[in-house]
Each structure stands twice: as C-alpha cells, then as structure tokens.
Amino acid sequence: MQPVKAITLKLCAVVLFIIMSSLIKAASDAVPPGQAVFFRSFFAMPVTVVWLIMLGQLTTGLRVKSIWGHVRRGVAGTMAMAMMFAGLALLPLPEVTALSYTSSLLIVIFAALFLGERVGVFRIGAVCIGLVGVLIILAPKLTVFGGAPVAASEALGAAVVLVGATCAAIAQITIRSMVQTEHPAAIAFYFSVTATALSALTMPFGWVIPSGWLLGQLVLAGILGGAAQIFLTLSYRYADASIVAPFDYASMIFALLIGYFIFDEVPTVPMLIGAALIAAAGIAIILREHHLGLKRGRARALRTPQG
C-alpha cells in the first residue's frame, strides 16, 4: 500500500469535483440542469478514453459484460447528477455538499434492503445520527420546525438535493454488484454515455446557445469531472477504502471556502452542525465496514484448508 499517494489522489479528486460543481453553479442562472449534465458527461468521455489509451487498456477497459447493469447505473446516476445540478441553482454550495453526504447513509439502508447485507446496531445508530444532522440542516427551511420563513426555492432546493442523494445511493448500490465483472473505466465511461444520451432528451425544454466564458465553463466542468473520476479510481488502487474514503468529507472545507470567497455564501450554524454530524456518521460507517471486512477476511482464512 501507498497511503500518502492514495490520499493525495483522493484529495485531488475532491478538489476537482468541487471546482466542477462551482463551475456548474456559476452557470446555473443561464443554463438548465439538463444541458449542464450533457456538457459534464460529454466532455468527460474523451478524458477517460485518453487515460485508457495511455494505459494501453482501451479494448479491455471498455469491454461490457452486463449491459443492463450499465443502463441501471446510468439512469440512477444521471438522475442524481441532474438533481444535484438543479440544487446548486437554488442553494449555497456548502449546503448542497452537506446534503449530498446523505447518500452514504442511504447506501447502508439500501444495502440491507436490496443486497441482503446484515446491518448491526452500530451502523444503524450512525445512520440515525447522520439523519439528525440532515434534519438540523433542513429545520430552518421548514416552518413546521419553528424556523423563520424562507424562500420556497430553498425548500425546493433541499428536496431536490435529497432526491439526488437517494439516486446517487441507488447508483452506488448498483456499482457494488457491477465491480465484480466490469472494469472501473467501463463503468465511468458508459455512465457518461448514458448521461449524455438522456440529458440530450431535455434539449426541447429550454437549452441555450452558450458562448464565450459560459461555454468554457461547461466544457471545463466536463473535463474536470472526467479527470476527477480517474483520480478517484486511482486512489483506491494504492490504499484500502477505510483510509481513502473518509477524505470525501474534505469537500466540505473546499465548499465552504469557495462558497464564501466566490459566491459570498456565509455558512449558517445549523448547516455547520448538521454537516459535522453527517460527516461523523459517514466516517463511522466507513470504519465499521472496514472492521467487519477484516473480520470476514480472518474467518475465510480460518476456513481455508492449509496445505
């Protein structure tokens, strides 16, 4: 293992994803979410292809064994991306980032429901703590919690991001079953293909003709998204997920900085408290899954006949 290299790659991916989100947010006043998804997906494909050519794995890397698996992952992932992009137009960047962490909590629930995974008290407790964090973030947007009335767009934005987080969790559950047979590059590439095709269907619903800096923003968002996916994939080659995955939550630091200095977004106390609870719950779940993985590995080793 090379943990320093893995963490560096993961942080590079996190930074690129946040910059990509910032570019999409900056363009959201002029470009509808469907068009943003199109550019993000279309311009990510050449990055993946170039990477595979450099590795000499273009043929093997794009080979498909489960077409319907890619379709299911593509549809869920496209919905998640579209909802997140729509949320960026309605909410501050740090809030979208914090609420997107909900997907890691939902993955635990969906894994138990759809994959038959056993979920113990520890992980259930962590999920509950994370959901409390979500409620703390949402409370000011819902008058039923006694918070001050806010623009309906913020409540809509929160709902849209949570739907996106749910779709992202479904996509991740699908990937869990796909990685046994599919190359990681194929999963990323055909997701971009599916997202490009599906988002193109939204063309009649208000696409604009971008020019100048706006066009550059959208193209750069796609390139950075593709590069971030590669860095993310590489990071897990050099260290265990338990070491690498917690650095997902470093995205909140970058989101806060970019939100404050670029978009003049001042974080609220409920958002910070809620984000901290969600991140703590997510990290606890990651560490617990690592511990359980080690226990399962030792159990298999004991069952294996020694020759």
Residue with the larger pLDDT of the pair 240 and 286: 286
Rounded Cα gap, residues 166 and 31, in angstroms: 24
What phi and psi values does residue 223 have, to the nearest 5 degrees?
Answer: -65, -45
> Each residue of 4-60: pLDDT tens digit?
898 999 999 999 999 999 999 999 999 999 999 999 999 999 999 999 999 888 888
Quickly state the pLDDT bin for 307 (edges 50, 70, 90): very low
Q: What is the pLDDT of residue 295?
A: 60
Average pLDDT over residues 109-137: 88
Return the pLDDT at 115: 77
Residue 149 has pLDDT above 80, yes or no: no
More confident residue, 2 or 44: 44
pLDDT of 302 reads 46
pTM above 0.85, yes or no: yes
Q: With a cut of 80, say whether residue 101 has pLDDT above it.
A: yes
Element (H, E) at 232: helix 213-235
* Per-residue pLDDT band at 118 (split at 50, 70, 90): confident
Which region among 59-68, 125-134, 253-262, 295-304 has the lowest average model confidence (pLDDT)? Answer: 295-304
Q: Label residue 99 by pLDDT band (50, 70, 90).
A: very high
User: CA distances (Å), 215 to each of 26, 47, 66, 262, in order?
Assistant: 12, 18, 35, 19
What is the 8-class DSSP label of residue 83? H
What's the burial of 58, exposed, middle or buried (CB within 10 Å: 0-12/13-18/19+)? middle
Residues 6+ apart with CB under 8 A from 233: 184, 185, 188
Q: For residues 306 and 285, which has the higher predicted lDDT (pLDDT)?
A: 285
pLDDT at 256 over 80: yes
Helices of type H across 62-183: 67-88, 93-100, 102-114, 121-138, 152-178
pLDDT of the residue at 298 = 56
Q: Is the pLDDT of residue 112 over 90?
A: no
Q: Which of 14, 77, 71 is nearest to 40 (CA)?
A: 77
Whether 301 shows a pLDDT value over 80: the answer reads: no
CA angle 58, 15, 246 (to 5 degrees): 90
157 has pLDDT over 70:
yes
Compute the distance between CA of residue 265 and CA of residue 259 in angstroms, rounded to an integer. 5
